[in-house]
Amino acid sequence: MDKIIIEGGVPLQGEVHISGAKNAALPILVSALLTDGWCTYQNVPRLRDIDSILQLLSMLGAQIEVDGYTVRINAAGLKNAEAPYDLVRKMRASILVLCPLVARLKTAKVSLPGGCAIGARPINLHLKGLARLGADITLEHGYVLASAERLVGDEIYFETPTVTGTENLMMAAALAQGKTILKNAAREPEVVALADVLNQMGACIKGAGTAVVSIEGVPALKPVSVRIIPDRIETGTFMVAAALTQGDLLVRDCEPEHVGGIIDKLKQVGAAIQVGAKSIHVKGRAPIESVDVKTFPYPGFPTDMQAQFMVLMSVARGLSVISETVFENRFIHVSELRRMGADITVSGHSAVIKGVPSLSGAPVMATDLRASASLVLAGLVASGTTEVNRIYHLDRGYEAMETKFQKLGARIRREKSN
């Protein structure tokens, strides 16, 4: 497995291009299952998770063509309704095929994803919603078996907003008979992006981006040609990297509206920020001030940026408290950051961070995507050499991260591990 080696201490300078959003691309590529012609997707990031979803779609019977950042999918030959354990365990977002399979093939057999490093992550709300639309659901030998002759619209209330749950049920409801109303729906930009794509396919979805989404079912959807929105978490990660290294960075081809919570916190930290139409200029300033952060569903501060922000607070002036409210076990980076000299104490769902003057490079590793990104950021500002191992996770969600940092002046390289 590859590792990343970083010699820290270089302020990042220059311009960075933001890739397409992983968490928008995944459900949008899956939505090709809802129709039977060629769909074209542009600005699809080159990531391991994208390879995994394409492998699954192909296994289900879809034809796939990949040409750089353009992906074409034709699900006319959709025939296999089973998503096997081997693929679902690698990537939880595979659960997104559940509702489209039931909507198109009237049946689905999808492995239960199980827990992951950041929490138990149940899918009970996906299943409860699908049952509400009339599907028969049973759990057998680690698989969800779902079937319905024709889904029928109804009102679905989510106890907690769920991103992929909202996306899954929007896809089911798009082809259901009658009207579905999703209440306490997730409001993330990725949900809106999927709703936009489904509407271009002929669906009738209103209210995406608010807590109440209404969907009038239609008998069929048509193929579409669309572009994937920029990745707001990659945007935030580079913005934090600029503030952390006292750099001067123009983050290009992003959607500033989607990162309001991050911009607000970075301004409080003391960074100078100028927002353009599709770009954000971030200039880091010393000293980095401490601020408290609490993660929330969108438009709150994203849980996917919590680990990266904790690195920033590790070298800030004073004391900060970071509280995680979305996932129950998302502090796995803390023990590794401590090994790099950070002063962090975890108590329940909060971490108290006492800023230190500097971090010191060390061999580290993480078992989650965003935790791995936070360790790369820590390496960029630490003295000496940091070796981030097991970067399999990083490659799942960041496109060529080390190449992008190299272009900004960082001393960072990828090496094969023994």
- Does residue 21 belong to the site contacting ligand EPU (CB under 6 A)? no
Select 22 or 104, whichever has its Cβ closest to ligand EPU: 22
304, 395, 399, 402: which one binds ligand EPU (CB under 6 A):
304
Q: Dig out the tokens for 381 from the structure.
A: 């500002």
CB atoms under 10 Å from CB of 159, counted, come to 9
Give the binding range for ligand EPU (CB under 6 A) out of 57-65, 119-127, 209-217, 351-359.
119-127
- Does residue 160 belong to the site contacting ligand EPU (CB under 6 A)? yes
Q: Give the span between the Cα atoms of 342 and 337, in whole angstroms.
A: 6
Q: Give the span between the Cα atoms of 108 and 83, in whole angstroms.
A: 8
Strand order in the sheet with 343-347: 293-294, 319-323, 350-354, 343-347
CA distances, 122 to each of 19, 72, 134, 255, 256 (Å): 29, 31, 21, 30, 31
Helix (H) or strand (E) holding 269: helix 260-269
Q: Give the span between the Cα atoms of 259 and 243, in whole angstroms.
A: 15
Contact predicate 247/12, CB 8 Å: yes
Strand-strand pairing, 248-252 and 70-74: unpaired
CA dihedral 339, 345, 347, 353 (to 10 degrees): -120
Q: Give the span between the Cα atoms of 414 and 210, in whole angstroms.
A: 42
126, 258, 333, 404: which one binds ligand EPU (CB under 6 A):
126
17, 72, 89, 121: which one binds ligand EPU (CB under 6 A):
121
Q: How far is the CB of 78 from ligand EPU (least distance, A)?
A: 21
156, 163, 198, 259: which one binds ligand EPU (CB under 6 A):
163
* Catalytic residue chosen out of the listed positions 39, 99, 116, 204: 116
CB atoms under 10 Å from CB of 115, counted, come to 11
Q: How far is the CB of 330 from ligand EPU (least distance, A)?
A: 8
- Does residue 309 belong to the site contacting ligand EPU (CB under 6 A)? no
Q: How far is the CB of 294 from ligand EPU (least distance, A)?
A: 14
Partner residues linked to 204 by β-bridges: 216
Catalytic site includes residue 99:
no
Q: Give the span between the Cα atoms of 229 and 19, in whole angstroms.
A: 9
Q: Dig out the tokens for 412 from the structure.
A: 């960072």
- Does residue 240 belong to the site contacting ligand EPU (CB under 6 A)? no
Select 93 or 198, whichever has its Cβ closest to ligand EPU: 93
143, 309, 327, 405: which one binds ligand EPU (CB under 6 A):
327
- Does residue 93 belong to the site contacting ligand EPU (CB under 6 A)? yes
- Does residue 397 belong to the site contacting ligand EPU (CB under 6 A)? yes
Select 162 or 290, whichever has its Cβ closest to ligand EPU: 162
Select 28 or 315, whichever has its Cβ closest to ligand EPU: 28
109, 265, 333, 370: which one binds ligand EPU (CB under 6 A):
370
> Which residues are known catalytic residues?
116
**Interface with ligand EPU by CB under 6 A: which residues?**
23, 26, 92-93, 119, 121-126, 160, 162-165, 186, 190, 303-304, 326-327, 369-370, 397
